[in-house]
């Protein structure tokens, strides 16, 4: 079937790639060992530091986010090391599964998929670990499967208060360049990121922002590593090159995306995401539906996961929306499969895109026969208008 007009890609990543970035991606590929490439990579390696809010190095792999997860673990840890992880949702579970497969001893704190990491529990676990067997605390900043954002600064403080030397590793895959995140100020040792969400790029780049402590750990860690080895990257990056063929065109796109984020200003980017998230929550509340995130201080600004009324299929609803309005909404993953749908409101996005998205959801609720009240779009529009001047 032919669909006229633009597809609405409202999953929480990959996100809509803006035209400026698409144009940058379409430039001819150049010699990745020549001087023009070295200038490009110096620009993006530097620009990434500003996006991760760090003065330390950021490593860029041609990879998905999963690759960047693996790089974080294999560079800093040794087989048999203990790591502390938290079941905040599907992605935290996948990272835990990877750690276990790599031979790490994972202490996985169970969760209900409606809350983030409790800093009090971090303190408790670390205080009890008198022998400092735990080598790292690994947290997903924004759990994309649930729309819950953990409080990294408070987790850092809990670690400091416990005077525990474990490293802190944070997955910012769906928060980077969308929700305030400060690698250096928050004392994070490895920050994991990727290209296809707040950075407004297609999938294909994975990032590790690293602290001095993480670099020191990488010199003694004994986990086998080859492709993911930071050492080769540091060496080649000094001169603006990569140890193997980099994703040249994605790096053109990255340079453009960093420029756009900086033209808007990171603080305004974060405020825009906060505002769109609040407007979305007002729509959900007017529809009389429930948000999966149970604690308002952990509401995500990049996506909202909405619970389907008991006994109704979230996937059937999403199918209706796709069929009638050519809009993709995020599906429920893992334990909440078919029970929630997710509205992505991150990346290259504005008020009218949000209004269109919410209109598609509201009409879809009627067409799919989901009991709800009207007025969600109106509630969101009222909030957008009220806050227009401040934005």
Ligand X SMILES: Cc1ncc(COP(=O)(O)O)c(C=O)c1O
Q: Kindly report whether the peptide bond that precedes residue 14 is cis, defined as omega within 30 degrees of 0.
A: yes
The CA-CA-CA angle for residues 16, 390, 180, to 5°, reads 55
Tokens linked to 368 = 């799919």
- Residue 27: other Cβ atoms inside 10 A: 12
Nearest CB to ligand X, comparing residues 91 and 181: 91
Nearest CB to ligand X, comparing residues 137 and 368: 137
Question: Which residue, chain included where needed, has tokens 């053109």?
Answer: 252
Question: What is the closest distance, in whole angstroms, from the C-beta atom of residue 145 to ligand X in the complex?
Answer: 7
Question: What is the closest distance, in whole angstroms, from the C-beta atom of residue 16 to ligand X in the complex?
Answer: 16
Question: What is the closest distance, in whole angstroms, from the C-beta atom of residue 169 to ligand X in the complex?
Answer: 12
CB 139 within 8 A of CB 103: no
Question: What is the closest distance, in whole angstroms, from the C-beta atom of residue 199 to ligand X in the complex?
Answer: 12
Element (H, E) at 106: strand 105-109
Nearest CB to ligand X, comparing residues 75 and 320: 75
Nearest CB to ligand X, comparing residues 57 and 344: 344
Question: What is the closest distance, in whole angstroms, from the C-beta atom of residue 171 to ligand X in the complex?
Answer: 5
- Residue 182: other Cβ atoms inside 10 A: 15
Buried b (16+ CB within 10 A) or exposed e, 238-270: eebbbeeebbbbbbbbbbbbbebbeeeeeeebb
Nearest CB to ligand X, comparing residues 41 and 142: 142
Residues that bind ligand X (CB under 6 A): 13, 64-66, 91, 140, 144, 171, 173-174, 194, 203
Q: Alpha carbon of 374 to those of 8, 200, 289, 381: distances in Å?
A: 22, 32, 11, 13
Nearest residue relative to ligand X (C-beta): 65
C-alpha span between 85 and 108 (Å, rounded):
5
CB 209 within 8 A of CB 189: no
Nearest CB to ligand X, comparing residues 100 and 236: 100
Question: What is the closest distance, in whole angstroms, from the C-beta atom of residue 289 to ligand X in the complex?
Answer: 23
Helix or strand or coil: residue 258? helix
C-alpha span between 71 and 136 (Å, rounded):
14
Nearest CB to ligand X, comparing residues 319 and 331: 331
Tokens linked to 144 = 């994309």
C-alpha span between 391 and 383 (Å, rounded):
11
Question: What is the closest distance, in whole angstroms, from the C-beta atom of residue 62 to ligand X in the complex?
Answer: 12
C-alpha span between 292 and 144 (Å, rounded):
12
C-alpha span between 48 and 319 (Å, rounded):
37
Tokens linked to 46 = 């530097």
Nearest CB to ligand X, comparing residues 227 and 241: 227
Question: What is the closest distance, in whole angstroms, from the C-beta atom of residue 358 to ligand X in the complex?
Answer: 22
Nearest CB to ligand X, comparing residues 24 and 173: 173
Question: What is the closest distance, in whole angstroms, from the C-beta atom of residue 68 to ligand X in the complex?
Answer: 8
Which residues make Cβ contacts (< 8 Å) with residue 160, sequence separation at least 6?
187
């Amino acid at each position: 079937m032919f669909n006229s007009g633009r597809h609405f890609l409202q999953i929480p990543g990959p996100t809509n790639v803006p035209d400026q970035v698409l144009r940058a991606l379409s430039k001819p590929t150049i010699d990745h060992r020549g001087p023009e490439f070295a200038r490009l990579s110096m620009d993006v390696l530097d620009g990434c530091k500003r996006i991760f809010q760090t003065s330390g190095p950021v490593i860029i792999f041609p990879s998905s986010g999963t690759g960047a997860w693996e790089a974080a673990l294999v560079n800093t840890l040794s087989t048999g090391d203990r790591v502390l992880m938290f079941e905040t949702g599907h992605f935290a579970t996948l990272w835990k599964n990877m750690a276990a497969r790599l031979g790490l001893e994972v202490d996985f704190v169970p969760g209900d998929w409606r809350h983030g990491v409790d800093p009090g529990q971090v303190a408790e676990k670390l205080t009890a670990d008198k022998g400092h067997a735990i080598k790292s605390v690994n947290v997903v900043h924004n759990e994309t499967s649930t729309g819950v954002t953990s409080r990294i600064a408070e987790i850092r403080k809990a670690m400091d208060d416990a005077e525990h030397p474990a490293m802190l590793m944070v997955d910012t895959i769906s928060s980077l360049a969308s929700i305030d995140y400060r690698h250096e100020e928050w004392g994070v040792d490895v920050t994991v990121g990727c290209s296809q969400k707040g950075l407004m790029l297609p999938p294909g780049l994975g990032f590790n922002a690293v602290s001095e402590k993480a670099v020191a750990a990488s010199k003694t860690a004994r986990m086998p590593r080859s492709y993911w080895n930071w050492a080769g990257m540091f060496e080649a990056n000094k001169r603006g090159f990569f140890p193997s063929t980099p994703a040249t065109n994605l790096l053109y796109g990255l340079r453009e995306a960093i420029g756009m984020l900086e033209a808007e200003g990171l603080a305004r980017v974060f405020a825009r995401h906060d505002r769109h998230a609040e407007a979305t929550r007002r729509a959900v509340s007017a529809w009389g539906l429930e948000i999966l995130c149970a604690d308002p201080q952990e509401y995500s600004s990049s996506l909202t996961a909405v619970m389907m009324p008991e006994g109704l299929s979230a996937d059937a609803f999403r199918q209706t929306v796709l069929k009638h309005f050519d809009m993709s909404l995020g599906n429920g993953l893992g334990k909440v499969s078919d029970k929630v749908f997710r509205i992505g409101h991150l990346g290259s996005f504005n008020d009218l895109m949000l209004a269109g998205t919410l209109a598609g959801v509201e009409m879809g609720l009627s067409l799919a026969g989901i009991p709800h009240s009207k007025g969600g779009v109106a509630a969101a529009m009222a909030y957008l208008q009220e806050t227009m001047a401040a934005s």
